[in-house]
Every structure is written in structure tokens, then in C-alpha cells.
Structure 1
């Protein structure tokens, strides 16, 4: 007997990132340059704050929107860092940035709506969009340095367009948008019945200049997503933040409330420590990521890879067109013969085909070893 299920779920694929990671995870002596997991430990003062929360019995439900001191700290953080102004009624503490995206999409999307997003792109957006009965409209950004520009967006806007996703700094490319590029998108969208979801989870990891948010120029139509996973090496704590105008936050809070009630109380205390005492914790990590990025970029260029130099996050996205293989076949062969795991570009939409993603969120020693193996493999004649 086959019992009924949601057909939209049936047609969703597991993340290509995880599929490939799982495929090679048990291989001996594998250098994995796959997952976006910071190799830095969570700072000690944050771990101590977590222990104190337990000792102080801070183990009950918090307000649905989150522990008030944490919401206050989150508002101060984005104002201090990026000049964004929100009140405590304009922020929700979520179970990671992923849950923030989920409640945002489920609040603003209706059946038949369209969502414009750049490609190649992180694979976590499309499944949620489709579960909402909406349609993702991918924009090929390969000819503009992996940047989604106003000139791309304008011809794609229809009466069904409800949202544009700006995921910068980008996973998988590490690219960012300039203030001028953001201003042009804001000018295009302003006054239209279109939301912008600005996924800024890597905002603290920008190597040149400072991170800028489109919410600076389009505050009433922007939903900002952020969190402490990448900035403070707190992926397992699962704390994200959603910022938007109060009237729409009130509706998103209803979805959040029936989805998870509230984020974990202990993790919220840890995040409070991160955003206050640890407000600049990301600086040392960012410095090391920048050094790793330069090293990986230079090594890839020396191997004759065609590759854009990233300006943020901890990913780089070289072309493998020269090898005349699909990205999956190239990555699989590299894993089997050189014991180096990278993510096939096809995991990031069809526009990622012909590329691979390398994560440098691992030690310099691992990067050196992995790139040495890759170079030896290529010199032998990758096939």
C-alpha cells in the first residue's frame, strides 16, 4: 500500500553538496574541500557563556521572537557594522539562517509567484520556493563575474515576480556586490510590489572594503537574513536573524511560532555573548580566510584554471572546462585518483556545470596538501 504524500516533496532532490560529501566521506586519506564548516573552534568566551546558561537554568522557552537582550544586541550589531536600523519588533531570532529563509519565503510567496535569483547559487533556496508553489527564475551570471545586476533583473520582472534573492557574499563563488550595483537594483525595485531577500550570512567575511546591504537603500522592501554560524564559527548552535519592517515581521512571526516556537534558549545566550563581547571575533578569522583565499587563488592560476578572485565567504569556483568532463565526473575522478574532494558545480544549478567549488574553510596545511595532490593529478593528465 502506498500512502499519500506531498508531491512537491517527492520531486525535491537532496542537496548536491551533501550527496557528494556523503559519497566520499568514508574514503581513507581523503582531503575534503567540500563543506562550508569553519575549521576554527567556537571562541572560548562563547562556550563559557553557553555553560553559564545551563548553570543558571536558562533552559525554558523564550519569547517567540527571541530573548529580548539578544534582539537588542542583534539590532545594535547590524547598526554598528552596516548602518542598518531596526527595532526589537523588527527582528526574529531563528534556528539558523535556513529557518529564517523558510519563514520569509512562506510568508511572502503565493501559488504561481516567481522568484528571481542568481545562478550558480546555493541550493537551499529553490526547494523552499517550490514547496511554496512558486517558481525560481535563475539568472545566468557567468558573464558578469557571478554578479546579479539590475540589467539582468529588469527584463525578467513580470506581474508574477514577488521576490529577488541577493545572496552576497556568495556561496559558491565568494563574489560581492558594490554599493553602486546595489543602488541600481534598489532603484529598479523601489515602489514595485517586489521583495528583496538579502542573505547576508557571510557579511563579516568580506576581504576588501566593508559589507554593504541593499537594505541601506531599500529598507521597506528588504528582508535581511544573517546569523552567527559563519562569523563566529557557531554552525551547530543554529542561531540566525531575520530583519524587516515590523508589519511584515508580525506575519513572519506567526509562521515561525508554529514552526519552531523559539530558537534554543541556551544557544541564544551564546549568541548574545557573540554579538556583544565577541562583536569583533570574526576579524582574526577573516584575516586567515583572506590569506587562504590568496593562496588557493594563486595555486589555481598557476595550474591554468580560469577562476574569479573571491572577495568574501570562504569558497572559490574555478572553471574545469579545459578538462572536457562534467563537473560530477571531474570531481569523482579527482576524489578517486587524487584523494581530494571538491563539490561539483552542478550542485549549484545547471549554470554551475563546468565548475567546481572549493572550500578553504580548513587549515592551510590541508589546503597545501589538497592542492599539491590536485596539481599532481592534473600534471599526470586529468581525464
Structure 2
């Protein structure tokens, strides 16, 4: 019998799985485990959004949708971006509805990448961008930002532009960041934009956490170089709609036309009733998101205080719902080993920093997208574990 897997695309053998999800599945089998792993809101989708989806189904909005997205949702996206962020996109030609931001990013990278092209991926960052580039046939180059406050600085970006020259096709920006919670100011974005402005380099901007920006202003490459920016956003995090799988891309019309080709042949369209629910989410304003944000801030502040008291050196998260913490000297410095020790001995599950690329080794990511009672119990367990480990040194 022929082993056909040997004859598939060779690059796929080098593409990793999402270790964050692999580990989360492992710890789910441990009785009584408290999980700070997956970045999924513990809130339910707001009732008015669910009601809009149900009403849409009852009205038989269950047939094929327009492949670029419903007119109503694209208009709602355009109106929201203009009102909240001062970004102006033509809903007919510059907005494309996607199967979540994950598909949107994959579509964007696939559409811009030719063999040999380099995409710069500042790390630590969520683990989809590097594999997407590999699958697209390009070369991902991770940029370690651990020495620059987990931010891509102009000097660091220029260093890589000088090194790779015309081969650089794109730079990934995740703002606010997963896993660090760090957010760029617009002034910082402007300085970075100046280095690629007028060059054939795309800014691939994942802004899925833009609504979860607690301490800073909204900032984006789209404000400075919209002609070079592919902006991706969605509803999973801010509206607790992870299971609905709905997002969108924004880009200049001619770029969107080519993004559409990749998207259309991969997924055809997005369910109409899901788009109707997302439209309702935007039209209702940000009352629901503000309520969730207030809870996230309380959780962030509590977890940050507890971790700091235990000896963890933490980044000060400005957005998203993660704390990125440097492992104290009295604990195992191998983050991949430590997460299994914590899960099995302390019954606390966190994510290894090295899962997020260069610069993440020796760190742990804590998600506070879970209830305060769970956070308090998890921090108590972790504190007891740390006290015991310190006593053994």
C-alpha cells in the first residue's frame, strides 16, 4: 500500500499545530483544573445579538449570502470604523466579510505572498502568522521584541529591512498584542509607518483586540498608510462571539478584489444569519462591550497584583485579556516543562511563552478571560505552589 502522506506538500511536515490548543485539550482531562489558557471570553454572546441571529433564521435567511458579505453588515462595518476610529472604507469595494479573523489573516497572507517573499512577524505573538506564511510558500522571519518592551521599534524594523531588502513583502502588526497585552500609541505607529511608506510592503494589521484597549488610544497603520494596509478585525473577542466565526478585512479596492479571490474559492460565503447577528452587534453600539471591558479591567488588576506579589515580572497589559509573566528564578526556567508541572501539581493551566515564538521563552501567558472566582482560586493555588518551591530551594 502506498503511503500517500509522503507525497503531500513537503512544507506541511514543518508546519506546527497550534500548541496552545493542544495543551488546552491535554489539561481538560485533569479533574478540577483551573484554565488560564485559551483566550475565549467566559461571557455569553449578548442576548440582542443571539435574538438577531434567531430572527434571521426564522425569516429563512439561510441561503447563500453575497460572497463579499451582506450589504447590511458591510455598511455597518464601514459606519462603525468611520464613527469610532476615523477610518473610511467603501462598503461596496473595500470591505470583505470573512470566516473570523483567522481566515482573514490566512487570506491576506496567501494573497500577497509569492515564493521567496519575506513576511516579518514581531514576536512573541499568536501562532498563526508564521505557519500561514509557510503554507503560502513564503519565508516567515520572526523579530524578537523581548529586549524592546515587546514592541517593534523603528530601529529594530530598519535593521530587518536593511538585512532583507526588497524581499520583504509584509509586516504583521497585532495591536493590542496577544500574548503580552501591549498596545502601540499612534505616534509609535506613525514612526514605523514612515519606514515602509511608499515601498511595496504591506502592513498586515490584526486588530481583533481593538475594542479591548483599556488604557490607551486606538492606533492603527490604517490611519497613516491605508493604501498599504490590510486591516483584519472581527467579533469573537469584543462581543463574545468566538463560535460564530465572523470577521472582516478592509483594504483598498484593487487589493480587496484580489483578497476576494482567495476567500471566495476557500469558503464561498459566510452564513447569512451569522452576518445579520454581527450587524446587530455593531448597530447597538458598545454598551455590551463596555460592560465586559469593566470586568476585564478588574480581573487584570487583581491577577497582575497577585502575580507580582508571587515574584513574577509582568508586562503591564493595556489591552486584550492576557498577562505575560517572566518566570521567577525559583521555578523551572523551561516554560514548556513548567506548564506541565503547574497543571499536574497545582491544578493550574497556563500557556508556555515559547509557544509564541522568539522572545517568549522563559515566560508564561495567563488569560484572564475567565470568572473572578476562578481567578482567585487559581492565584491561591499558584501562590501555594510557589511558596512550596521556594521552600525547596
110, 114, 117: which one aligns with 2:118: 114
What do residues 274-331 of structure 1 show as CA deviations (whole Å, max 9, x unaligned)? 0102444211111111111111111111111111110000001100151243101111
159, 179, 182: which one aligns with 1:155: 159
Q: Distance in 1 between matches of 2:139 and 2:328?
A: 29
TM-score by length of 2: 0.96
Residue number in structure 1 paired with 2:25? 22
What are the residue-to-residue correspondences of 1:168-317 with 2, within 5 Å?
A: 168-317=175-324
- Confirm or deny that 1:370 pairs with 2:371: no
How far has the Cα of 1:229 moved from its partner? 0.6
Residue number in structure 2 paired with 1:95? 99
Q: Distance in 1 between matches of 2:63 and 2:51?
A: 19
Structure 2 SS opposite 1:36: coil
Q: Distance in 2 between matches of 1:332 and 1:351?
A: 20
Residue number in structure 1 paired with 2:334? 326
Q: Distance in 1 between matches of 2:285 and 2:89?
A: 20
Gaps of 5+ in 2: none
What do residues 122-165 of structure 1 show as CA deviations (whole Å, max 9, x unaligned)? 00111110011111111111122111122111111111000000
Q: Distance in 1 between matches of 2:21 and 2:89?
A: 35
335, 338, 351: which one aligns with 1:343: 351
Residue number in structure 1 paired with 2:80? 77
Deviates more, 1:12-21 or 1:68-77: 12-21
- Confirm or deny that 1:60 pairs with 2:63: yes
What are the residue-to-residue correspondences of 1:121-136 with 2, within 5 Å?
A: 121-136=125-140
How far has the Cα of 1:102 moved from its partner? 0.9
2:119–2:172 contact (8 Å) kept in structure 1: yes
Q: Distance in 1 between matches of 2:321 and 2:360?
A: 17
1:114–1:161 contact (8 Å) kept in structure 2: yes
Q: Distance in 1 between matches of 2:332 and 2:14?
A: 30
What do residues 61-120 of structure 1 show as CA deviations (whole Å, max 9, x unaligned)? 111100011000001111111111001110000000001001111111100100111111
31, 34, 37: which one aligns with 2:37: 34
1:340–1:373 contact (8 Å) kept in structure 2: yes
1:12–1:127 contact (8 Å) kept in structure 2: yes
Q: Distance in 2 between matches of 1:117 and 1:153?
A: 10
Gaps of 5+ in 1: none
2:216–2:318 contact (8 Å) kept in structure 1: no
1:190–1:218 contact (8 Å) kept in structure 2: yes
Question: How many positions carry a matched residue from both structures?
Answer: 383
Q: Distance in 1 between matches of 2:253 and 2:237?
A: 26
Residue number in structure 1 paired with 2:3? 2
Residue number in structure 1 paired with 2:173? 166
Deviates more, 1:359-368 or 1:317-326: 317-326
- Confirm or deny that 1:86 pairs with 2:89: yes
Q: Distance in 1 between matches of 2:109 and 2:143?
A: 19
Structure 1 SS opposite 2:325: coil
Moved over 2 A (4+): 278-281
